[in-house]
Amino acid sequence: MGPVKVTCTGTAGLAWPPAHRDMLRSPPLVTMPSDRTDSLFRRCGPEYQAMSFTVSTLPAGHNFSVASGQTLLEAAIAQRIGLPYGCRDGKCGSCTAQLVAGRVSYPSGKTEALAGQPADACLTCQAVPESDVTLRVAELETVADIEVRILPCRVAEKTQLGHDVMRLRLKLPETQRLQFLAGQYLEFILADGRRRAFSIANAPHDDALMELHVRRVPGGEFTDYIFDELKEKTVLRIQGPLGSFVLREQSQRPMLFLGGGTGFAPIKGLLEHAFHLGLEQPMTLYWGVRAARDLYLPELPERWAAEHPNFRWVPVLSEPDPDWSGRRGYVHEAALEDHPDIAAYDVYMSGPPAMVEAGRAAFEGRGLSADHIFSDAFEYAADSPSFKG
């Protein structure tokens, strides 16, 4: 890898001496005698302190710059490079790329998704470059083409769907539409700057209102507000669309969808989009919840099954009611029991990280390539800046 590029000011044509280039290549930090450091700062000016690194992607061949302290994913989103991602909190692993060259660090310390990964795995949502970097990653061109926007919205409808799930339908200004892909999410921007993220539950062809499914979290300040205080016609501020949990429309493989709790929300959007496209391959939904009352929209997949011969759904209860006669246990285990040939499928999973990671490990253990596992993992957090609920 070549030397780090630094643009200097104050002295035309100034280049880094070889000794300084060697220091910059030595991980993890550059250390210089204070008199030489002061001299360099005087000669290079403030741009040295804000130097950027170049990231190259394989096989797409894209290049983008990352400012000092910025994560790889933040820079990619800002420059419309379609890196895959999900939770943006180091938990789900959807953003994992192969670090082919260069050095990164994880100053946030949020690296849960690296557990069990190869040594060259890189979480782009948390990784901050310390040099120029080359990544091998499957980019999503369609996601990259969509502008992430901040918009006001009005609560058009608030409907309680179950004992702990509220459906919100949001209306954008008359002259605005939020372009998005099925399965993506948006974030509410709160008055104090904190954010709360929720999956978009409708498909893009039905975008007059944005539909969200909000689960009430014990001790959750924002979800308590939604259930107890939020009124229809209230104006809120959102940013979106975000995420790369989207349908691979060109694939001809049969599809399995696994949703845990309100992980049903983005899967609802994916399935409605697939029906709208007229996809004909087999599609099966496994909706995992604790008890029957947690199936907050059971009539909807029942209707889909009646309308689409290539669709079926299987509710799975982990803590079933005494009179429950359907499937019991973990949702990924039910899917494996029914599909021993799972290596031939595309699998979409949405729910808590433990569910997603258990499914990923089990499916890969049965021969399903990681290239055909797509996930959206989120935590139910009481009060966090960017977790989905």
Residue-range definition of the domain harbouring residue 217: 146-242
121 and 179 share a domain? no
pLDDT score of 27 = 34
For residues 150 and 139, state if they share a domain: no
Tell me: do 264 and 350 sit in the same domain.
yes
Residue 25 is assigned to a structural domain of this protein: no
The pLDDT value recorded for residue 379 is: 52
Last residue within a domain, chosen from 242, 264, 279? 242
11 is a domain residue: no
pTM of structure: 0.72
In a domain, 248, yes or no: no
Residues 79 and 160 in one domain: no
User: For the chain, how big is the Rg over CA atoms in Å?
Assistant: 23
Q: Give the 3-state secondary structure of residue 66.
A: strand
- Which residue is associated with the tokens 């894209």? 62
Task: State whether residue 151 is helix, strand or coil.
Answer: strand
Q: Where are the alpha helices (DSSP H) in 278-352?
A: 299-307, 331-338
Angle at 387 between CA 205 and CA 124, to 5 degrees: 90
200 Cβ contact list (under 8 Å, min separation 6): 180, 182, 183, 184, 185, 186, 210, 211, 212, 240, 241, 265, 266, 269
Q: What is the pLDDT of residue 114?
A: 94
Q: Residue 191 has which token pair?
A: 């008055």
DSSP secondary structure letter of residue 308:
-
**In a shared domain, residues 206 and 174:** yes
For the chain, 389 residues long, give each residue's pLDDT as a single digit of tens.
333 333 333 323 333 333 333 333 333 333 333 333 333 333 344 443 457 999 999 998 999 999 988 999 999 988 878 898 877 888 888 899 999 999 999 999 999 999 999 999 999 999 999 999 999 998 876 777 788 999 999 999 999 999 999 999 999 998 787 889 999 999 999 999 999 999 999 998 898 999 999 999 998 999 999 999 999 999 999 999 999 999 998 899 999 999 999 999 999 999 999 999 999 999 999 999 999 999 999 999 999 999 999 999 999 999 999 999 999 999 999 999 999 999 999 999 999 999 999 999 999 999 999 999 999 886 543 344 444 55
Shared domain check, 215 and 266: no
Look up residue 284 and give its amino acid: T
Q: Three-state DSSP class for 185? A: strand
Sign of CA dihedral 63, 64, 69, 73: negative
Q: Is residue 288 part of a domain?
A: yes
Indicate if 236 and 153 belong to the same structural domain.
yes
Is the domain of 103 the same as that of 170?
no
**Beta-carbon count within 10 A of 142 CB:** 14
The answer to whether residue 16 sits within a structural domain is: no
Judged by DSSP in three states, 374 sits in strand
Same domain, 135 and 185: no
Within a domain: 101: yes
Task: Kindly state whether residues 126 and 150 are assigned to the same domain.
Answer: no
Pick from 210, 199, 207: nearest CA to 276: 207
Q: What is the DSSP letter of 147?
A: P
17 belongs to a structural domain = no
- In this structure, are residues 349 and 374 in contact, taking their beta carbons and an 8 Å threshold? yes
Q: Count the helix, strand and coil residues of the chain and give each as a percent rounded to the nearest 5.
A: 25, 25, 45
**Which domain CATH number covers 271?**
3.40.50.80
118 and 231 assigned to the same domain: no
> In the β-sheet with 235-242, what is the strand arrangement from edge to edge?
195-199, 185-189, 235-242, 149-160, 165-171, 210-215
